[in-house]
Amino acid sequence: MITAVDLVNDIRFEGESIVTYPDELHPIGKGRSAAVFKLSMENKVLKVFYPEFHHLAEQEAAIYQELDNDVYYPKLYEAGKGYLILEYLDGVTFYDCLIEGIEITKEMVQNVEDALNYAKSKGLNPSDTHLQNVMLLKTGEVRVIDVVRFRQTKECSHWEDLKTAYQTIYCNPYFPKKIPAWVVETVIRLYRKGIIKFNKEK
């Protein structure tokens, strides 16, 4: 039987680029610290951290165990050196929603809020919650992914800023609900550089 460790050992990265991967895996997402593959014939994904972020797997697994929740977060099935096996979420990120023109409703935003409040109730400090770390499932449910920074002590305003942008810009009836990827990318880049700010207090 092929184990997760066998699969991970058959993946080759060059920095953040995936050079080769076994046939049992289908790349479905990439972030700043890992690549995510769907496992053939299983409702599971393999999240493999890039070599320099290897150590984050253990941290993220511990946070998922602490959250111990599959209403707001994906289930964690297994964790090993540099990888996690998580529940496959059949859906799209909020980032995809903007580009594909799928409306982000107030209820979806409230679901994220509930997920983050739940994490806070567990003594965690939800951080790095941005458009690519929240997903809308085909069932209409919402999940928060990528919890690796939920233990950092530094305050992260990403979600609060997104909420402000949502309430003040997106909810305006004249604001288009489908936005070209290059526009979204440009706004993200300018936000990261601090050139545009969404939080009124700043």
Ligand X SMILES: Nc1ncnc2c1ncn2[C@@H]1O[C@H](COP(=O)(O)OP(=O)(O)O)[C@@H](O)[C@H]1O
In the complex, the residues that contact Mg ion under the rule CB under 5 A are 31, 133, 146
* Catalytic option among 10, 96, 128, 146: 128
Choose the stretch contacting ligand X; rule: CB under 6 A; options: 85-93, 112-120, 178-186, 187-195: 85-93
Could you tell me which stretch among 25-33, 116-124, 165-173, 191-199 binds ligand X (CB under 6 A)? 25-33
Nearer to ligand X, 19 or 172 (CB): 19
Q: Which is nearer to Mg ion, 177 or 192 (CB)?
A: 192
The residue (of 21 and 49) whose beta carbon lies closer to Mg ion is 49
Locate 138 and state its tokens: 């085909």
Residue 4 near ligand X by CB under 6 A: no
User: Which active-site residues does the annotation give?
Assistant: 128
